[in-house]
Each structure stands twice: as structure tokens, then as C-alpha cells.
Structure 1
Amino acid sequence: MALAVNKPADYDDRVFLNCPFDAKFKPLFDAIVFTIQDLGFQARHALIDNSNVVRVERIASEIASAKYSLHDMSRVQLGKNKLPRFNMPFEAGIAYATHAMNPYQWDHHIGILDGIQYQHNASISDLAGLDTKVHEDDPVKAISCVRDFLRKKSARKLPGGKHVTDRYLAFQGTLAVAAKKNKVKLSELKSWNYANDLQDLMASWILQNPS
């Protein structure tokens, strides 16, 4: 598996988000990505194309290139096909190997997100003891979960969850105008297909409206 070898200049600011890409999770994804960006970090995820067509290699490279990674375990239950969803635990395993084996001698910090307290312990008990934050499928709570994780692991002075939430709501209030300006439908802008477009808008808004 091809992993990143050269340490990126922005390594200390990169946060990789491992999460389900389903309709129910999209509001949480948007809130989490905004929070990461608004706190001065850089949100990375599998939807960012680094030209590697092999998805698992792209993800492994992203994890190895980030000082922090967040792994959402709220969708490991059985799906319609009666099978569990292994993607998120598998990617968390890659991150843990990066943390534990430390192949490049770079620190890597792992955070676990879940929708229900202790739910992941029933299916992935080996994760017990890692830093777990519960968002209850609520974007506002997800914002505080991410803020608290980054505050603890980075030891940086960061604004509180309420402050970031207020800014996120203010940003959301600009989306209708932004969609029209960029000649896209608001529904498109909020879809998974436009996740990177929305992230770019977040970055621009944050730059124009410093915290």
C-alpha cells in the first residue's frame, strides 16, 4: 500500500474525517468540516481527490498525511443487505496502525465519534479507551465533540462550541445567496456531489469573517 512519505508542510493542521457518506450524516459532515476549518485546521476526507484511483490507498495516504483523524462509528449496524458496514472501522484500523507503529516518527492522534454512548464497544470493543465523543446525530453536538477533541489533542487555545455554532449558523444563512452567485441550486450545494464546493465556500467565508 502506497503511503505518503514526505511530511506535508501543513501536517500539524490536517484533520482526516472518516465517516459514512449517507443522506442522514450529511448535516453532521457539513458541521464537522466547518468546525475543523473554523478552528484553524484543515479538513481532509475521502472525497478529496489526490489523483490516486485506488480508494483505500488514497485514504491511507490521507491518514498518514494528517496529525489528527476522527472516525465516526455511528453506522456500523446491519444495513439493508443484512451486513454491517466495515468501512469506518477498517479506516480507523489504518489510523490506529499509523498511531501505534508510527512508521515516519510523526505523531498521529485519533478521536472516535459515535451517535450513542458506548455503542461502538458492543461491536468494536478494541476501541475501548480511545477518546470517544458522542454527538447523538445532532450537528450542534458534533461541533462541540470536534472542538473538544482538537482542544485536547492540539493543546491550542480554541473558542468554545457555542461560538463555533453561532458562526456555522451565520455561514448557513449565506448559502442561498452563494448558490445563486455560483450558478448552482441550493439543493446541489448541500449534496454529497458538491461537498468540496461547499468546503471551498466555508474556507472563503471564514477568511472573510475571521473569528
Structure 2
Amino acid sequence: MFERSVFINCPFDDDYAPILQAVAFCVTYLGFRPRLAPQNGDNALNRLSRIEDIIRTSQYGIHDLSRNKAKAKGAFARMNMPFELGIDYGCKTFGPAPLSSKCILVLEERRYDYQKCLSDIAGWDIEAHSGDFQTALRKVRGWLIRQAGAPQRGATLIESRYVVFQEWYWARELSSGASEDDIRQYPTVDVIDAMQQWMELGQPD
């Protein structure tokens, strides 16, 4: 479990959903398990405890800092993502084996944005996706191949299989009586569960 688990620390808003779902598909398609805080449904644990548990049991961590900048005057920047990045880094730095083998990827929207708010991480694996889900997928694919020994699957292949998955998923949900509006409102964790089901079924068309 630890060696195949990838903690994804990112925004959960509608604007970011296409990036999150593409990244989660890439992780799943390459044989790993995406882990997100909303997946841990133990209501006896508070959110931070759930995150700590996921970080402790995931060898890999993907942290998107693209919400660090406030979008409007008077608005607050989102600090959850850098905070959770710090927990992951501390776990890697101070934890015993196997925690010391953890690997971290940092994503941002524009290159070098991190230097304006978190310059201490210069030199890490930091990739910019420009707010584009295909770019994010390609960055994560390359990192998993380099750092996790993921199989050498081409980015174009992964993107094409993602389209097949989406068509299969929508057809399945529509046939079960869901409307298109229903499907659009499903939480991302449900979509990620469907990705694993699709893989287990042999990637049907």
C-alpha cells in the first residue's frame, strides 16, 4: 500500500476539478493509488488527522500550490496546501524508514510563482501546469516514471485512455438513471473510485 500510494494535496473547487481528475487518472493508469483527504470517511477523525494518516501511509506526494495567491483584493490566499506540504516534508525528513523514502512533487500554475511565497523549496521537483489539465497529466506522468519506476506509458496514450474512461463513465452513469447535471455534480472521489473500477474491468470502451 505505502509503495503504491500517492497523496494528492490540491484545491477541491470546480475550477480545479479537471486538473485533479486528469492527475488522478494518470496516477491510477500507471498502477498507483491516488489518496485524497475526502476519501477517508472516518467522521471520528478531524480533517487534519485524516490528512496525517494519508501522508503517513503514502510514499509519494503531489502538492499543488496554485491557490497560494489571492484572486481578488481583500481575499485571502489558500494556506492549506503549503501547510500539508510541510507536514509531508517533515514526515520525510524526520520520520524513520520507510517514511524517509518519501518523494514529493510540487505543482504550480506559473513557473517560479513559488519563489514569491515559498522560496525555501528552490531546487525541489517543481513543475508548472499553466492551469491546463493535459499539461498537469504530463508533468505527473514524467515524475512517476522518474521517481517511482512507473511503467513507460506515453503521455498521448494516457490521454487517449482518459477519454475512453470518461466516455465509459458517462455512459454507465446515464444508463443507471443519472442526468448530465447529476454526473457533473458528483464529487471527484466518486470519479476516482470509478477509475479504479474501470481498470479492474480491463479498461472497457
Question: TM-score scaled to structure 2, two decimals?
Answer: 0.91
Is 1:151 aligned with 2:145?
yes
Q: 1:24 aligns with which of 15, 19, 33?
A: 15
The residue number in structure 2 matching 1:131 is 125
Unaligned runs of 5+ in 1: 1-9
Deviation at 1:174, TM superposition (A): 2.1
The residue number in structure 2 matching 1:169 is 163
How many matched pairs?
201
Is 1:71 aligned with 2:63?
yes
Give the Cα–Cα distance (whole angstroms) in 2 for the partners of residues 13 and 182 of structure 1.
32
**1:39-50 equivalences in 2 (<5 Å):** 39-50=30-41
Judge which range, 123-132 or 96-105, deviates more. 96-105
Give the Cα–Cα distance (whole angstroms) in 1 for the partners of residues 178 and 129 of structure 2.
31
Give the Cα–Cα distance (whole angstroms) in 1 for the partners of residues 139 and 12 of structure 2.
19
The residue number in structure 2 matching 1:3 is none
Secondary structure in 1 aligned to 2:34? Answer: strand
Give the Cα–Cα distance (whole angstroms) in 2 for the partners of residues 187 and 141 of structure 1.
27
Deviations 1:63-106 (A, max 9, x none): 11000000001111115552211000000000110111124543
Give the Cα–Cα distance (whole angstroms) in 1 for the partners of residues 195 and 181 of structure 2.
16
Deviation at 1:210, TM superposition (A): 4.9
Q: Is the 8 A contact 1:189 1:198 kept in 2?
A: no
**1:1-211 equivalences in 2 (<5 Å):** 10-51=1-42, 52-80=44-72, 81-106=74-99, 107-191=101-185, 193-210=186-203
Aligned pair in 2 of structure 1 residues 50, 11: CA closer, same or farther (>3 Å)?
A: farther
Give the Cα–Cα distance (whole angstroms) in 2 for the partners of residues 37 and 53 of structure 1.
26
Give the Cα–Cα distance (whole angstroms) in 2 for the partners of residues 145 and 42 of structure 1.
17
Secondary structure in 2 aligned to 1:157? Answer: coil
Deviation at 1:165, TM superposition (A): 0.6
Give the Cα–Cα distance (whole angstroms) in 2 for the partners of residues 94 and 35 of structure 1.
24
Give the Cα–Cα distance (whole angstroms) in 2 for the partners of residues 209 and 167 of structure 1.
12
Deviation at 1:21, TM superposition (A): 1.0
Give the Cα–Cα distance (whole angstroms) in 1 for the partners of residues 59 and 53 of structure 2.
12
Give the Cα–Cα distance (whole angstroms) in 2 for the partners of residues 94 and 71 of structure 1.
11
Unaligned runs of 5+ in 2: none
Identity of aligned residues (%): 28
